[in-house]
């Protein structure tokens, strides 16, 4: 549609859409608008018809011709909005009658003929109101357009295109499948048996992808769903807040991120860096509540690769190596998310040299510690995990004995 005609059609009112018909209805004649030719920049004539296609919807059909340069252009636009869902038509073309089916192809539609591995991508053609035979003729015309130039510059390519054009022309006498997939939902393939079902035509609706929404201008491609709450914010980004360095008390910043550990749970990782004294700390806290049962994880170290297992030690976890008579109480070191080697850096040389066959025990009455199972989701033959009921003393250490969870408002 030319520029001037497009501006004028916006003012045409609502109840002028009449069903398309072959009858010479004076009330259903196209509107003629003098408009600028985009080829020679002289005045031509645009004819606009607002019509309704049976069993489909209202459309705007426009046709432009220029008497000065003989340039012409036809196009169709939906008169409605983008539909809530995309639509895909699959038609098995078997006869000449099928070739005469009416087709509305929006510019956002993809046209495919699987038997020829042929596809017309979206937005490479203007919207059109045609027949299936007309779609094939238009595709042939598009391929033939630059054949003269190809014969001169790339004759091998021109020969292959000629061969493919012959295959497209032979479709008119054969059997093939036509697929029209339009994410806007505004394309249409005629069902001549409507309102009865057409056995040769299948129609499916689908939810658009974010990329398709972006192409249709509904929303930006990189627009993400807004987090529904503060927890969602923490999952999607690193939070930074101001604090003071625990060493020099200078202003510093702490980064905090909520991380999901596979086969375990969510934890909060916090890291503080001081630009003044260079002090760095990192700490891990459980992202959930105290578990109903305590957890005791026992790993038998049999290979150097065990030292690279991921490990989460909560602030309530104690560590025991029976072979070394080594025990680290739960209050000695804060929460850490590291590897086994990182946790045992003071004794790693002894263990990695193979001088001792040792076990590492993580005992966490709060149930918020974790040691990676390298065989997950299958059991680890060198590791055992026990759930146990806490003692009164352990509940006392965790402050659970005095915690009132029922009737606290009384």
Over range 69-95, report the average pLDDT. Answer: 84
With 90 as the cut, is the pLDDT of residue 181 above it? yes
Q: Are 266 and 370 in contact (CB under 8 A)?
A: no
Over range 6-27, report the average pLDDT. Answer: 49
Q: CB under 8 Å to 194, separation ≥6 — which residues?
A: 54, 55
Q: Quote the distance between the C-alpha of residue 165 and its chain's center.
A: 37
Give the CA distances from residue 380 to residues 23, 261, 266, 384, 385, in Å, rounded to whole numbers and listed in that order.
80, 17, 22, 7, 10
Of 95, 87, 88, residue with least CA distance to 176:
95
Query: pLDDT: is 256 or 54 the higher one?
Result: 256
DSSP letter string over 92-146? EE-SHHHHT-EEEE-TT-EEEEGGGTEEE-TTSS--EEEEHHHHHHHHHHHHHTT
Lowest mean pLDDT among 164-173, 287-296, 298-307, 313-322: 287-296
Over range 312-329, report the average pLDDT. Answer: 80
> 120 - beta bridge partners?
111
Q: Which residue has the tokens 């004819």?
A: 47
Handedness of CA 274, 275, 279, 282 (dihedral sign): positive
| Residue 87 confidence (pLDDT) | 93
Report the share of the chain in percent with pLDDT over 90: 20
- How far apart CA 2 and CA 11 sit, in angstroms, is 15
With 60 as the cut, is the pLDDT of residue 147 above it? yes
Q: Are 378 and 385 in contact (CB under 8 A)?
A: no
As a 3-state breakdown, the chain gives helix, strand, coil percent values, each rounded to 5, of: 25, 35, 45
pLDDT in tens, 29-72: 788 888 888 889 899 999 888 776 655 567 777 888 999 998 88
- How far apart CA 174 and CA 171 sit, in angstroms, is 5
With 50 as the cut, is the pLDDT of residue 248 above it? yes
127: pLDDT confidence band, cut at 50, 70 and 90?
confident
- How far apart CA 35 and CA 37 sit, in angstroms, is 7
Q: CB under 8 Å to 13, separation ≥6 — which residues?
A: none
Q: Are 108 and 186 in contact (CB under 8 A)?
A: yes
14: pLDDT confidence band, cut at 50, 70 and 90?
very low
Residue 262, token pair as written in the block: 């596979």
- How far apart CA 141 and CA 102 sit, in angstroms, is 19
| Residue 336 confidence (pLDDT) | 74
Which range, 156-160, 246-250, 276-280, is most confident? Answer: 156-160
- How far apart CA 220 and CA 211 sit, in angstroms, is 8
283: pLDDT confidence band, cut at 50, 70 and 90?
confident
Q: What are phi and psi of 219, to 5 degrees?
A: -155, 160
Residue 174, token pair as written in the block: 């054969």
- How far apart CA 352 and CA 340 sit, in angstroms, is 12
Which pTM value belongs to this model?
A: 0.45
Give the CA distances from residue 194 to residues 80, 106, 239, 381, in Å, rounded to whole numbers and listed in that order.
22, 21, 58, 66
> 177 - beta bridge partners?
92
Give the CA distances from residue 68 to residues 63, 72, 124, 158, in Å, rounded to whole numbers and listed in that order.
16, 11, 27, 32
Query: pLDDT: is 254 or 29 the higher one?
Result: 254
Q: CB under 8 Å to 191, separation ≥6 — which residues?
A: 55, 198, 201
Size of the chain in residues:
410
> What is the four-CA torsion angle of 138, 142, 143, 148, rounded to 10 degrees?
130
406: pLDDT confidence band, cut at 50, 70 and 90?
low
| Residue 331 confidence (pLDDT) | 58
């Amino acid at each position: 549609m030319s520029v001037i005609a497009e501006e004028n059609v916006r003012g045409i009112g609502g109840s002028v859409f009449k069903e398309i018909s072959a009858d010479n209805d004076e009330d259903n004649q196209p509107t003629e608008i003098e408009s600028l030719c985009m080829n020679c920049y002289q005045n031509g004539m645009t004819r606009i018809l607002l019509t309704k296609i049976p069993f489909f919807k209202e459309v705007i059909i426009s046709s432009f011709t220029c008497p000065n340069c003989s340039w012409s252009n036809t196009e169709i636009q939906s008169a409605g909005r983008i539909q809530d869902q995309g639509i895909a038509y699959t038609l098995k073309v078997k006869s000449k009658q099928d070739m005469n089916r009416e087709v509305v192809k929006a510019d956002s539609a993809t046209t495919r003929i699987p038997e020829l591995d042929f596809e017309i991508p979206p937005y490479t053609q203007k919207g059109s109101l045609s027949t299936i035979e007309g779609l094939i003729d238009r595709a042939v015309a598009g391929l033939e357009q630059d054949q003269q130039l190809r014969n001169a510059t790339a004759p091998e390519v021109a020969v292959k295109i000629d061969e493919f054009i012959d295959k497209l022309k032979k479709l008119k006498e054969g059997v093939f499948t036509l697929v029209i997939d339009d994410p806007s939902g505004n394309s249409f393939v005629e069902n001549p048996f409507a309102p009865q079902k057409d056995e040769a035509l299948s129609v499916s609706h689908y939810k658009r992808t974010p990329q398709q929404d972006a192409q249709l201008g509904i929303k930006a491609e990189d627009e993400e769903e807004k987090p529904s709450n503060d927890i969602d914010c923490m999952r999607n980004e690193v939070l930074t807040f101001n604090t003071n360095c625990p060493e020099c008390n200078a202003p510093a910043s702490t980064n905090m991120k909520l991380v999901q550990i596979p086969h375990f749970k969510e934890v909060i990782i916090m890291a503080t860096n001081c630009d003044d004294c260079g002090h760095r700390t990192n700490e891990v806290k459980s992202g959930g509540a105290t578990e109903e049962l305590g957890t005791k994880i026992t790993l038998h170290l049999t290979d150097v690769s065990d030292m690279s297992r991921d490990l989460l030690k909560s602030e309530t976890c104690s560590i025991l190596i029976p072979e070394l008579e080594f025990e680290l109480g739960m209050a000695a070191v804060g929460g850490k998310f590291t590897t086994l080697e990182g946790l045992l850096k003071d004794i790693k040389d002894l263990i990695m040299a193979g001088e001792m066959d040792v076990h590492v025990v993580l005992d966490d009455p709060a149930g918020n510690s974790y040691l990676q199972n390298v065989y997950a989701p299958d059991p680890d033959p060198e590791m055992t995990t026990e759930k146990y009921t806490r003692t009164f003393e352990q509940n006392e250490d965790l402050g659970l004995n005095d915690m009132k969870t029922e009737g606290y408002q009384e």
